[in-house]
Structure formats: C-alpha cells, structure tokens
C-alpha cells in the first residue's frame, strides 16, 4: 500500500493535512478515485509516535484498533483502519504485531489518568483545601488537558427546568428561573454550597430528565440565550467535541486529555441517587474550580448520562445568560428500564 486518501480517515485534523499536502489520485486503501491522496510514508512518524503510547497486554481485552477507534474514531471504517495500521506497524518496526493484537495504554498514561481516582478519594477523605496543585500541573500536566473550547453564539438556545411541588401551582416567573442566591445555593455536581452556578441543557427534553421528572409532574421550563449586556465572549471548555489524534509531537498529551475528560465527564453527568452523600460532589466541584482557574473559561459542556440526545452546560457566572421566557408543562409519559445486578 503506497497511497492513502482523505476518505480513509475521520480525524478532521488529519483530513485537513491530507487535503493541504496531498495530490489528486487513486487510493490504494479504500479504492477512491481522483481524490486527495498522500503517501503513507509521510504519515509514518505520526503512527510511530502513536504506537509508542501502547503496550502489549496479554491479559487485556481490547485490541489496538478497538482502542483507537473507540476513543478517537481515527479511521472512516474498520477495514481501512486495519489495513493502514498493519502496514504502518510493518514499516515502523513496532513491538505490536498487528492491529488486532491485545494492548493497553502505556504505564505512564495509565498512571496519569488513574490519578483521578486517587484524587477523588483524597478530596473526600484525606485533604480538601490544601491539595498539591503542583502534582496536577507540573507532574501530570492536567492544566493543558482542557484546551478544547467552544464559544456560545448569540442565537444558541438553552433550557432550564424547575419542578413544581404541588399541582396547579402558578408558573415560575422569569426572575425565579436562574440560579438561587448564594445563601440558598445547595451543593451540586459542579458548584460548592454557597457558590451558585447556572445549569442548562441544549435540549428541551433532556432537561426534563435532568430534574428527575416523574409521571404527571408539572414543570416550569425556561429558555435562555446569551445576555446581550454581557459584552465578552462566553468561552466554554467543551467535553463533547470529537477528539482528534493528529497532533504531531503532542499525541501523548492528546491521549491523556481524551481519557481524563471521559472520566470527569462521566462523574459530572452521574445522577445523584437519594442514598448518595454530598461528599461525592466534592471531586467534581474541585475539578470544575481547577478548570475555571487554569483555563479562564466561563463554563463546561458535557454529555448527559440521563438522555444521550442532549448535552449539559454549567456556567460559573449566570450573568452571561438571560432567561427569555417560561412555559409550564406536564409529564405525560415515562419509559423505565431495568437491568439485573
């Protein structure tokens, strides 16, 4: 295999590189005709750097192709992925024999991202206010892992909901649909007690799941857009953006960033069960404060675990958004599924 093309890949950065550096031709991998192609040899440095971040794991359960596709969707298809990986493995003299070999990330990567589990236990049970920040920044480099950002546009619509405690209650007014005053702000997944953040969703149905609505519950649903009085851009740390791998000399950092953000996003979106303790909030409160401090963003966007159609948004300053209108709805149908434990 000599030539590969933009259609072989899904990584937007790699596709952009092929378009800018390639020439029109026929692809030896996916058989596309008259398309931007590049010699595979020009990508071997990238693949060698990528392979160096994995180790053979006899007792593992993931192949090289499944880890790469599952986390980054680097290739447009498994067929292309297997062909290109096997050719690159042969030409780079990697310790990995083929794309289906069982591997894991290197010990250095695993130690870095697994520190999140250690940190969570420390914050809950050992030390809370004097955590060693230098470990996170100088040793682990976490302050550089949250660079994927997005900007909230003026025409973007977000939603917030409040459950009514009794039937036939009046709809909540606009001024009651934002965050509560500090003295009434309870602890949440992102905010500590007494420090209110604004929790929104980009999907109206998702927000009904997020407030744990039940059958026949009545709910006030508010619409938010950017506050025209807020003159600065609303920059968000985006945990929902498709991660890219094609960052020569930075692949190791991109791998750690993707894996760590997945762990944090899962904890941020985890619903609080009625028998959980507020201590479980502390690690995500800490990491939100860490991101807020070291990346200078106004909030974080992450996937909803309760309704996979939508994403959630937590804003550190509620003045960045403005409630435009409120309507009252009633839950008319609920689907519940269970699994054996």
Nearest-5° Cα angle at 340, 118 to 117: 5
User: How much is the pLDDT for 228?
Assistant: 94
> The whole model's pTM is what?
0.91
pLDDT in tens, 104-141: 999 999 999 999 999 999 999 998 888 889 999 999 99
Contact partners, residue 211, CB within 8 Å, separation at least 6: 161, 162, 163, 219
Query: Given 53, 71, 105, which residue is the final one in a domain?
Result: 105
User: How much is the pLDDT for 41?
Assistant: 96
Same domain, residue pair 173 and 282: yes
CA distance 313 to 115: 25
Position 111 in a domain: no
Same domain, residue pair 189 and 325: yes
Same domain, residue pair 177 and 296: yes
Position 143 in a domain: no
How many domains does one find in the chain?
Answer: 2
Same domain, residue pair 309 and 221: yes
Burial 99-120 (b: 16+ CB within 10 A, else e): bebbbbbeeebeebbebbeebb
CA distance 264 to 71: 15
Mean pLDDT of 97-110: 97
User: How much is the pLDDT for 112?
Assistant: 98
Same domain, residue pair 77 and 188: no
Position 120 in a domain: no
Position 133 in a domain: no
Same domain, residue pair 29 and 165: no
Strands 299-303 and 235-238, sheet pairing: parallel
Same domain, residue pair 24 and 173: no
Range of the domain at 71: 3-105
Query: Given 53, 81, 105, which residue is the final one in a domain?
Result: 105
């Amino acid at each position: 295999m000599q030539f590969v093309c933009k259609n072989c890949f899904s990584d937007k950065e790699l596709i952009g590189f092929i378009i800018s550096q390639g020439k029109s031709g026929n692809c030896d991998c996916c058989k596309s005709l008259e398309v931007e192609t590049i010699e595979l040899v020009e990508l071997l440095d990238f693949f060698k750097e990528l392979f160096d971040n994995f180790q053979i794991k006899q007792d593992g359960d993931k192949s090289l192709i499944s880890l790469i596709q599952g986390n980054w969707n680097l290739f447009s298809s498994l067929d292309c992925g297997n062909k290109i990986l096997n050719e690159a493995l042969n030409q780079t003299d990697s310790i990995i024999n083929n794309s289906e070999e069982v591997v894991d990330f290197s010990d250095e990567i695993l130690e870095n991202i697994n520190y999140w589990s250690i940190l969570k236990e420390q914050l809950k049970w050992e030390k809370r206010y004097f955590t060693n920040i230098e470990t996170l920044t100088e040793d682990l480099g976490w302050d550089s892992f949250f660079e994927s950002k997005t900007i909230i546009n003026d025409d973007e619509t977000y939603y917030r909901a409040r459950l009514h405690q009794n039937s036939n209650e009046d709809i909540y007014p606009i001024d009651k649909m934002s965050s509560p005053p500090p003295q009434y702000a309870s602890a949440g997944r992102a905010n500590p007690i007494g420090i209110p953040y604004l929790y929104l969703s980009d999907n109206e149905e998702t927000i009904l799941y997020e407030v744990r609505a039940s059958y026949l519950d009545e709910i006030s649903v508010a619409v938010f857009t950017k506050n025209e009085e807020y003159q600065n851009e609303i920059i968000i740390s985006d945990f929902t953006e498709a991660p890219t791998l094609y960052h020569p000399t930075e692949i190791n950092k991109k791998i750690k960033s993707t894996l760590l953000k997945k762990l944090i996003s899962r904890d941020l979106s985890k619903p609080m069960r009625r028998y959980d303790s507020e201590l479980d909030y502390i690690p995500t409160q800490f990491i939100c404060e860490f991101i807020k401090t070291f990346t200078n963003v106004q909030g974080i966007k992450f996937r909803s675990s309760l309704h996979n159609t939508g994403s959630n948004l937590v804003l550190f300053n509620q003045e960045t958004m403005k409630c435009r209108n409120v309507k009252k709805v009633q839950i008319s149908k609920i689907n519940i599924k269970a699994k054996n434990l």
